[in-house]
Amino acid sequence: MWCQLFSEPGAGSDVASLQTRAVRDGEGWLVNGQKVWTSGAQHADFGALLARTNPDLPKHRGLTMFIVDMRAPGVVVRPLRDMTGRAPFNEVYFDDLRLPADAVLGEVDAGWTAAVTMLGHERVSIGGSARRRDAPLNPENLVALARRAGRLGDPEIRRELAAYHAASRTLELFNTRLRQEADAGVAPGARGSVAKLTGAELLWRGVELAGRIAGPGLLAWDRDDEDAAELALAINATPASSIAGGTNQIQRSIIGERILGLPKEPQVDRDVPFRELRVGTQQQG
């Protein structure tokens, strides 16, 4: 089992501002720094770590991806509990973590390319989670909710359920196409952002529809009603869908620039050596 060690306290949407350093140590590397919001790190055997190896290069360069043994000395994982009551993600600390030379994934100082590739596939995965059969907010479960609430005969509810099913099915087919292309060696590229953004918006749409169906019943339920408890958990987890894998705003920028061909946002720091920037936690330097 693997985890993805990208985000930091001062580098969330702007991951390229990350501060975790990997410096050469003989034949290998010495890593110090912190990551946060790392899903599944407490269970992972290995992690894909993005660290800065050359601060004299601009922030999108000078990054390297490493394979990390999550049980190695120097790796500390601390679970973070969210408003669902669970701890799906973690903060991870690296304290003089030693990595061998062959821990480099790809090329030294070219980790941004590896990260973008990985994020594209992650966004496809996130986009497909809304349509999973076991997802409480999938169309079948919302139909069952309407049946239990006595709202299945309501023409307006039926119309919204049909529209939700159509949107969900469209996303499912789009993700199927991306997976088939990936199997054929075609990377999702910026289209992964389409899948991720659509999946996040679909989950929010499901929350709103569940509220219209259940009404006050969405606020309280019998202690032994497992279906209602799972639905409440899904509703509390939905805000994370707009952040995980890059915020919805970031996805719209990617789609606009790389798919629609719109002008890029101004980036005055793109060619400035990283050590000269005041970004993230480096603002205090």
Which amino acid appears at position 285 of this protein? Answer: G
Please state, rounded to an integer, the average pLDDT across all residues of the chain: 90
Residue type, 202: L
Task: Please state the rounded mean pLDDT for residues 9-19.
Answer: 90
Which residue in this structure is represented by tokens 């789609």? 255
Backbone phi and psi for residue 96, each to the nearest 5 degrees, phi listed first: 55, 45
Write down all domains in the chain, each with its CATH number in brackets: 2-109 (2.40.110.10), 116-246 (1.20.140.10)
Q: Which one from 91, 122, 140, 265 is the annotated catalytic residue?
A: 122
- Token representation of residue 189: 């590229």
CA-closest candidate to residue 52, choices 237, 242, 274 = 274
The sign of the torsion formed by the CA atoms of 208, 214, 220, 224 equals negative
Amino acid residing at 241: S
**Which of these, 12, 8, 18, lies nearest to 90 by C-alpha position?**
8
In percent, the amount of the chain with pLDDT more than 90 equals 62
- Residue 155 has a pLDDT of 97
Give the residues across from 89 on adjacent strands.
Answer: 39, 80
What pLDDT, on a 0 to 100 scale, did the predictor assign at position 284?
53
Grade residue 128 by pLDDT with cuts at 50, 70 and 90.
low
CB 7 within 8 A of CB 17: no
Average pLDDT rounded to a whole number, residues 165-194: 90
Torsion angle in degrees (nearest 10) through CA of 276, 279, 283, 285: -40
Angle of CA points 33, 35, 37, to nearest 5°: 170
Q: Which of 66, 65, 55, 67 is nearest to 17 (CA)?
A: 55
Q: Give me the pLDDT at residue 218, please.
A: 79
In which element (H, E) is residue 3 found?
strand 2-5
> Mapping DSSP to helix (H, G, I), strand (E, B) and coil, where does residue 60 land?
coil
Distance CA 221, CA 257 (A): 46
pTM above 0.75, yes or no: yes
Q: What are phi and psi of 89, to 5 degrees?
A: -130, 180
State residue 282's pLDDT score: 62
Q: Quick check: is 122 catalytic?
A: yes
Q: What is the DSSP letter of 43?
A: T
Instruction: Report which of 47, 61, 49 is spatially closest to residue 16, judged by C-alpha positions.
Output: 61
Distance, in Å, from the CA atom of 105 to the CA atom of 195, rounded to the nearest integer, reads: 26
pLDDT of residue 156: 97
- Quote the crossing angle between the two packed helices 191-214 and 155-183, to the nearest 10°: 160
Point out which residues pair with 273 in neighbouring strands: 58
Query: How many angstroms separate the CA atoms of 95 and 257, rounded?
Result: 38
